[in-house]
């Protein structure tokens, strides 16, 4: 995992870009790849957070009768790892990341969007 994601190192220079509320603000950017840092409060999580969420969902379902297998969890994690920006907390927005997670979980399980969302 993560061979496409290096450790971003912020430039000293800033680039002025609109934030989510449309105001121009100075953003740091990575001096090796040029990725612009997300400076909003809509922060993304690392992959470990979502692995924990999947474990919590599994515990909950096991208690209720068990509908999430280890094989499904492995497929979900594999797909999340294959998306190069998913766990890139430097650039990724939390809301976009949650949406990707829910879509991937739904692809491999029959779980509803609101059910998955309730664990995030």
Select from 28-36, 37-45, 92-100, 110-118 the region that touches Zn ion (CB under 5 A). 28-36
Give CA–CA dist 87/98, Å, rounded.
Answer: 11
Q: Give the residue at shortest CB distance from Zn ion.
A: 30
Q: Which is nearer to Zn ion, 8 or 105 (CB)?
A: 8
The verdict on 33 binding Zn ion (CB under 5 A) reads yes
Q: Distance from CA of residue 112 to its chain's centroid?
A: 19
Calpha distance 109→115 (Å, rounded): 12
Pick between residue 4 and residue 78 the one whose CB is nearest to Zn ion: 4
Whether the CB-CB separation of 109 and 68 falls below 8 Å is answered with yes
Contacts of 31 by beta carbon, 8 Å cutoff, 6+ apart: 9, 10, 11
Q: How far is the CB of 31 from Zn ion (least distance, A)?
A: 8
Strand-pair category, 24-27 with 15-18: antiparallel
- Under the binding rule (CB under 5 A), the answer on residue 15 touching Zn ion is no
Nearest approach, Cβ of residue 35 and Zn ion (Å): 5
Q: Which is nearer to Zn ion, 8 or 27 (CB)?
A: 8
Q: Does residue number 8 form part of the binding site for Zn ion (CB under 5 A)?
A: yes
Residues near Zn ion (CB under 5 A): 8, 30, 32-33, 35
């Amino acid at each position: 995992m993560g061979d496409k994601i290096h450790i971003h190192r912020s430039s000293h220079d800033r680039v002025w870009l609109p934030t989510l509320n449309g105001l121009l603000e100075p953003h740091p950017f990575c001096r090796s790849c040029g990725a612009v840092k997300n400076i909003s409060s809509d922060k993304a999580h690392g992959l470990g957070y979502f692995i924990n969420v999947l474990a919590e969902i599994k515990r909950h379902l096991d208690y209720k009768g068990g509908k999430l297998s280890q094989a499904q969890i492995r497929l979900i994690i594999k797909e999340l790892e294959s998306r190069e920006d998913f766990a890139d907390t430097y650039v990724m927005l939390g809301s976009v990341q949650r949406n990707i997670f829910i879509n991937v979980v739904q692809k491999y399980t029959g779980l509803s969007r609101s059910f998955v969302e309730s664990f995030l």
